[in-house]
Amino acid sequence: MKSWKAWAKLHVYQKVIFVFVALVIPYSLINLWMNLEGQKYVRGDITDSTQSNVNFYSRQLDDQMSFIRNLQLQLLNEPELQKLNFLGKQINEFDSIQLVNRVRDRLIANLNSSDYLVNVGVYIKSFGRTISTQSGITPVPNAEYDVVAGYSELQPSRPLYYRDGKLFFLASANNAAIIAYFQLSVPRFEETLRPLVDRYGDSGALLADDTFRSRISFKTKDEVVKLIGDRIDAKMPDQPDASFTVRSGKQTYLVTNSRISTLGLTLFTYLNQNELTGQLRTFNIWYIVLSIVSIVIIVLFSFSVNLMIHKPLKRLIVSFKILEADSLIRSTGIRPNNEFGYLYRNFDQMVQRLKLSIRENYEQKIALQHSELKQLQSQINPHFLYNSFFNIYMICRSGDMEQASEMARRLGSYYQFITRSGKDEAHLVDEYRHALDYCEIQSIRFSNRIEVEADELPASCAAYEVPRIIVQPVVENAFEHAFENGRRRGHVYVRAAFENEVLRISVEDDGGGLQGEALQALQAKLAHATEAHEKTGLINVGRRIRLKFGETSGVFVSRSEQGGLKAEIVIHFSERGY
pLDDT above 60 (res 456): yes
Looking at residue 89, the DSSP 8-state letter turns out to be G
Q: How far is CA 203 from the centre of its chain?
A: 46
Average pLDDT of the segment spanning 473-492: 75
Task: Give pLDDT, residue 578.
Answer: 39
Interatomic CA distance for residues 305 and 325, integer angstroms: 29
Highest mean pLDDT among 117-126, 233-242, 301-310, 361-370: 117-126
Looking at residue 15, its amino acid is K
Q: Read off the pLDDT band of 564 (50, 70, 90).
A: confident
Lowest mean pLDDT among 278-292, 299-313, 448-462, 525-539: 525-539
Interatomic CA distance for residues 31 and 288, integer angstroms: 11
pLDDT above 80 (res 181): yes
- Give strand ranges (E) for 108-212: 117-124, 129-132, 136-139, 160-163, 166-173, 178-184, 203-208
Task: Give pLDDT, residue 226.
Answer: 85
Domain range 200-279, its CATH number among 3.30.310, 3.30.450, 3.10.450, 3.30.460? 3.30.450
Interatomic CA distance for residues 216 and 209, integer angstroms: 10
Q: Read off the pLDDT band of 570 (50, 70, 90).
A: very high
pLDDT above 60 (res 55): yes
Q: Read off the pLDDT band of 150 (50, 70, 90).
A: low
Q: Element (H or E) spanning 41, and its range?
A: helix 12-76
Residue of 569, 262, 572 whose CA lies nearest to 431: 569
Looking at residue 511, the DSSP 8-state letter turns out to be S
Report, in angstroms and rounded to the nearest whole number, the Rg of the chain calculated over CA atoms: 63
Cβ-contact 474, 507 below 8 angstroms: yes
Domain range 77-184, its CATH number among 3.30.450, 1.20.58, 3.90.550, 1.25.40? 3.30.450
Do the strands 450-454 and 490-499 form a parallel or antiparallel pair, or are they unpaired? parallel
Task: Give pLDDT, residue 33.
Answer: 79
pLDDT above 60 (res 523): yes
Domain range 379-572, its CATH number among 3.30.1310.10, 3.30.565.10, 3.40.30.10, 3.40.50.720? 3.30.565.10
Cβ-contact 471, 569 below 8 angstroms: yes
Task: Give pLDDT, residue 154.
Answer: 45
Looking at residue 336, the DSSP 8-state letter turns out to be -
Same fold, 77-184 and 200-279: yes
Mean model confidence pLDDT for the chain? 78
Query: In the chain, where are the structural domains located?
Result: 77-184, 200-279, 292-358, 379-572
